[in-house]
Structure 1
Amino acid sequence: MEVVIIGGIILLAYLIGAIPTAVWVGKSYYGIDVRQHGSGNAGATNTFRVLGKKPGSIVMAVDILKGWAATSLANLLLNWDVIEPQQLIMFKLILGVVAVIGHIFPVYVGFKGGKGVATLMGMVLAVHLQVALICLGIFIVVLLLTKYVSLSSMLAAIAFPLLLLLPMFKPDTILLPVFGIFIAIMVVLTHKKNITRLLQGVESKANINPFRSK
């Protein structure tokens, strides 16, 4: 019975993560499939680029919420006595990763999604709130200063494992910093093309002008 419950929760985490926010917002309110424009990704970055500040902000917020909600399903397993307290972080990481995979490969729209950075941020919020809020702050500050979502995402991802090395944020389990290092590497690797464009000075900037709505 416990295996069935865990399997159902994992499936639910995937279905939550797979909600194609960018595609649905673009098609429903603008008649545009963001995957056919810009970078071709169905994520917040490309939504900012293609549709502008307001829809980009909405997509980013919902994608963060997806990651947080899916990861927090682990608390249900704990409350239902399906898992032990010492297993909570491990299952949060499992469910969060499944949600990110769902975002990247969404069943609802032909398995063509985004890079999963916003959903990953939601996952981190559910796993380590304090460090996640600092990383979110880094993301926002860099984004406002440079307008490069890709650069903001990479710096926030790199900051996560580094912050976990500080005594005030050091977790009880080695799983979290190891996961943080893995995620930072993966985020950088998935942004290889962005890094090239940044170095060449041709990376697209997000439309986040506060005096303009698109």
Structure 2
Amino acid sequence: METAMLLAVAYFLGSIPSGVWIGKIFFKKDIRDFGSKNTGTTNTFRVLGKKAGAIVFLMDLLKGTLATCLPMIFHLEINPLWFGLVAVIGHTLPIFAGFKGGKAVATSGGMLLGYSPQFFLYSLIFFIIILYITSMVSATSIIAAIFVTLSTIILPLTHTGILPNFNWLLTIICFALTCYIIYRHRENIIRIKNGTESRISFGLHKKSS
């Protein structure tokens, strides 16, 4: 019963529509009516600005982290990744926003942070490098998701200590989320192929502009 209740808490945490609430409360805007109409970090940056975008990113990240830490906080003998996954599901299908949510990237990162801070930092460094090279959040999200999934298999074999042990559940969840992230970015993929995908003012694109 306690596990079921905490899984529900994880879902409700994930369901907090940070971008929607920040936009409505502080800017009197519903970001679902602007830009890509997505509720996540990238559209928040685009519609509400850098400060709001940074706050929404942190909120979406940390709700995944907190959910993943629930079994440790309440001393449950269960893999914390289940709670992180439920939070990601809440983020993508939020009960507080008509079951239309974000693309799972930030909250998935929060799940990794709660599970293994070293692996999160490793993944974040790679994300920043790819973002610097491409200046496209969409392409970076897809590439980073694939990289993270492969890393869950490769790192335990390298004995670096970043992921000392192979965890089949981590690999399966990362693979499933990668498939979902690619699916949610299908329109972005078309724009990337056509050379029309929007870029951010960071990295090589900024230098060449």
For normalisation by structure 1, the TM-score amounts to 0.84
2:172 alignment partner in structure 1: 178
Inter-partner Cα distance in structure 1 for 2:146 and 2:104: 15
1:101 alignment partner in structure 2: 89
C-alpha deviation, 1:142, in angstroms: 2.7
Which structure is richer in relative contact order (CA contacts within 8 A, separation 6 or more)? 1
Determine whether 1:189 maps to 2:189: no
Identity across matched positions, percent: 41
Aligned residues: CA RMSD = 1.9
Q: Which moved more, 1:153-162 or 1:180-189?
A: 180-189
Letter in 2 for 1:121: G
Q: 1:185 to 1:111 in 2, by over 3 A?
A: closer
2:49 alignment partner in structure 1: 52
Determine whether 1:5 maps to 2:2: yes
Letter in 2 for 1:49: R
Determine whether 1:130 maps to 2:118: yes
**Contact 1:44-1:60 at 8 Å conserved across structures:** yes
Select the residue among 103, 110, 117 that pairs with 1:115. Answer: 103
**Contact 1:49-1:207 at 8 Å conserved across structures:** no
Q: 1:202 to 1:42 in 2, by over 3 A?
A: same
Matched position secondary structure for 1:121: helix
**Contact 1:161-1:180 at 8 Å conserved across structures:** yes
Matched position secondary structure for 1:32: coil
2:131 alignment partner in structure 1: 143
C-alpha deviation, 1:110, in angstroms: 2.1
C-alpha deviation, 1:170, in angstroms: 4.7
Matched position secondary structure for 2:150: helix
Consecutive unaligned residues in structure 2, runs of 5 or more: 204-209
**Contact 2:31-2:43 at 8 Å conserved across structures:** yes
C-alpha deviation, 1:68, in angstroms: 0.3
Q: Which moved more, 1:62-71 or 1:152-161?
A: 152-161
Inter-partner Cα distance in structure 2 for 1:119 and 1:200: 29
Inter-partner Cα distance in structure 1 for 2:95 and 2:201: 29
C-alpha deviation, 1:208, in angstroms: 6.0
For normalisation by structure 2, the TM-score amounts to 0.86
Q: 1:61 to 1:52 in 2, by over 3 A?
A: same
Inter-partner Cα distance in structure 1 for 2:194 and 2:81: 36
Q: 1:105 to 1:174 in 2, by over 3 A?
A: closer
Matched position secondary structure for 1:204: coil
Determine whether 1:66 maps to 2:60: no
TM superposition outliers: structure 1 runs of 4+ over 4 Å: none
How far does the alpha carbon of each residue in 1:106-145 deviate from its partner, in whole angstroms, 9 at most, with x for none? 2222222211210111001112222221211222233344
Matches within 5 A, 1:9-28: 9-28=6-25
Inter-partner Cα distance in structure 2 for 1:187 and 1:170: 26
